[in-house]
Amino acid sequence: MQLKKSLFCLFVANFALWSTSQAQIEIPKKSPYSKIFQKVGLTDISIEYSRPSAKGRKVFGHLVPFGDLWRTGANASTKIKFNKQVKIAGQELAAGQYALYTIPNEQEWEIILHKNTTLWGTGGKDYKEEENVLRFSVTPQKILDFTETFQITIEDISDEQCLIVLSWEKTRINFKINLETDLDVLKSIDKAMSGVQANTYYSAASYYLEKKLDLDKALSWINLALAQKNSYWMLRKKAQILKAKNKIDQAIKVNTEALILAEKAGKEMYMNSIKKEITTWKKAE
């Protein structure tokens, strides 16, 4: 009796071990999952999608029929997420996650951003047009290089915009995302400018100068920075702001003061840059 009980326990243990090993088997996906993330300016953009491959098949007009709603990938619907408000095709889009659908055609594609992100594929009867948040048209481009596996990329990145690019087979489409980076920075600067340290004033003044914004405000901030820390790099920034305001004489005078401090500090790189600026500005007088 004891032997039978032991054999039974051994069988149960082996069966459990076999079941566990079977559950751990993993098979490659035909259309593997992918997630891309990109910070553009101050905005986080992420895209989740599955990537089918052509595998010798004709894609658009056949595997992906013209005129039909497409999940823009495989498996679950493709999702795109923004952590800040953006503008697409001249329309404002609130921060959030959206399903990205498309309707391919030979001459024109429809791009659709949909609020329901829970659907599998196109969702069939569960897909509701009234849940579309944004819809617009783009023109497809024919490309020479063959793209075997469908891909989505984020390209042509600047502080204020980027392109979302879809490529498969010999077809490429893209659409622009416009951001409110300057507005976001200005809001953060205004919020941070009460009782701050010299380096914060300096950073704000530098940003305003670089973006050609309110130079009077930039000058007031660099003066507040200099009141706390009279350094050669801050004096040089003040000189550059004065030059941008077309106050050449004052700019040369301030940059000369910056040069003296840079020489005392032994900062040869700054010295050379300041000398070049002074020489150039004198010619512009």
**pLDDT per residue over 144-191, tens digit each?**
999 999 999 999 999 999 999 999 999 999 999 999 888 888 888 777
Token pair, residue 109, equals 């594609």
**If you average pLDDT over residues 60-87, what whole number do you get?**
96
Whole-structure pTM value = 0.67
Band of pLDDT at residue 197, cut at 50, 70 and 90: confident
Cα separations in angstroms, 73 against 124, 176, 267: 16, 19, 55
Q: Which of 285, 231, 221, 229 is nearest to 260 (CA)?
A: 231
Instruction: Fill in the DSSP letter of residue 273.
Output: H
Helices (H) and strands (E) in the chain, counts: 7, 10
Stretch among 68-77, 101-110, 150-159, 185-194 having the lowest mean pLDDT: 185-194
- In terms of C-beta density within 10 A (0-12 exposed, 13-18 middle, 19 or more buried), how is residue 136 classed? middle
Residue 181 has a pLDDT of: 87
Q: Is the pLDDT of residue 115 over 60?
A: yes
Q: Is the pLDDT of residue 13 over 70?
A: no
Residue 25 has a pLDDT of: 78
Token pair, residue 139, equals 């023109």
Band of pLDDT at residue 123, cut at 50, 70 and 90: confident
Residue 213 has a pLDDT of: 92
Q: Is the pLDDT of residue 7 over 60?
A: no
Pick the more confident residue, 18 or 183. Answer: 183
Q: Is the pLDDT of residue 44 over 90?
A: yes
Q: pLDDT, tens digit, for every residue of 128-137?
A: 999 999 999 9
Residue 121 has a pLDDT of: 87
**If you average pLDDT over residues 95-111, what whole number do you get?**
97
Q: pLDDT, tens digit, for every residue of 216-263?
A: 999 999 999 999 988 999 999 999 999 999 999 999 999 999 999 999
Residue 189 has a pLDDT of: 77
Stretch among 25-34, 90-99, 160-169, 274-283 having the lowest mean pLDDT: 25-34
* Summary mean pLDDT of the chain: 89
Query: Do the beta carbons of residue 168 and residue 61 sit within 8 Å?
Result: no
Cα separations in angstroms, 252 against 123, 244, 266, 283, 284: 67, 12, 20, 11, 11
Domains of the chain by range and CATH?
A: 33-178 (no CATH), 181-284 (1.25.40.10)
Q: Is the pLDDT of residue 19 over 90?
A: no
